[in-house]
Amino acid sequence: MNKTVKYAIGVVLLGLMAYNSVYFKRLDEVKAAGVTGAGKSAFAAAPYAQTFWNAKLLPAAPRLATDLATLLSLLKTDQEKAFNQYSHALGIGNIRYFLVKGEGTVTTVGPNDVTVSLASGETVHLATEYIFGNAARDASGLINITEFDNTTDLNSVSAELDEIIRNQIVPTLKANAAPGKKLSFIGAMELNRAHLHLDNLTMIPIIIE
């Protein structure tokens, strides 16, 4: 056997060894296995959100929520104190979130929200259609940013909490809301510290009674 043939056979054998030592998996298979990077388990947003909702947010919300009429009054007289004392946010910036509670009379049931008139005279819209954002995640102040490795995980928790509200809270609100009916609520509200507008308040419902 001449050197050329031996060299060719060696190249073929080396190629076979390299082929058999390397394999590929579809990305969705890796995600389904719950592994990312160097064997690290992927963050499971849905179980985290469900546990947070049932074990932390719902039990603590009645105690942590600020009376909406009281908050609105303070926002008009001392905006800085209202934001510093009652708002939360995991990110920096002017967008802040409030966990509030109140009761009133339903005046309108629209395609996107239920309008409630408070005894103090203000009105608030309880969202039924556009449930998105970080209000449900941040308003209570119960989640610590150090629990998460990256913003993707944080955003995933927001999405899962919004999904819980869409599936569990909104149907109950729609089924029971009718003009003239009284209801009490706890909700998460987003306000802009630099551009505060209190004339068209909308919040994400969390507890409806």
**What does the pLDDT read at residue 12?**
44
**What does the pLDDT read at residue 106?**
98
**Statement: residue 180 has pLDDT above 90:** yes
* Mean pLDDT (whole number) for 52-57: 98
Cα–Cα dist 82/75, whole Å:
6
**What does the pLDDT read at residue 39?**
54
Write down the domain spans for the chain: 1-42, 43-208
**What does the pLDDT read at residue 29?**
44
* pTM given for the model: 0.80
The mean pLDDT value of the chain amounts to: 86
**What does the pLDDT read at residue 31?**
42
To 10 degrees, the CA torsion angle through 180, 182, 183, 188?
A: 60
**Statement: residue 27 has pLDDT above 70:** no
Q: Are 114 and 99 in contact (CB under 8 A)?
A: no
CA 174, chain centre distance (Å): 21
Cα–Cα dist 192/133, whole Å:
14
Residue 2: which pLDDT band, with cuts at 50, 70 and 90?
low
Q: Are 66 and 86 in contact (CB under 8 A)?
A: yes
* Mean pLDDT (whole number) for 195-209: 95
* Mean pLDDT (whole number) for 183-207: 96
pLDDT one-digit tens code per residue, 125-144: 999 999 999 999 999 999 99
Which residues, 6 or more positions from 116, have their beta carbon under 8 angstroms from its beta carbon? 102, 104, 105, 106, 107, 123, 124, 125, 126, 183, 185
Partner residues linked to 69 by β-bridges: none
Residue 203: which pLDDT band, with cuts at 50, 70 and 90?
very high
The encoded tokens of residue 117 equal 């008139």
**Statement: residue 196 has pLDDT above 80:** yes
**What does the pLDDT read at residue 41?**
72
**Statement: residue 1 has pLDDT above 80:** no
Which is more confident, 34 or 118? 118
**Statement: residue 22 has pLDDT above 70:** no
Superfamily for 43-208? Envelope glycoprotein gp160, DUF2291, alpha/beta domain (2.40.50.420)
H/E element, 124 = strand 123-127
pLDDT one-digit tens code per residue, 59-80: 999 999 999 999 999 999 999 9
How far lies 160's CA from each of 27, 43, 100, in Å? 22, 13, 21
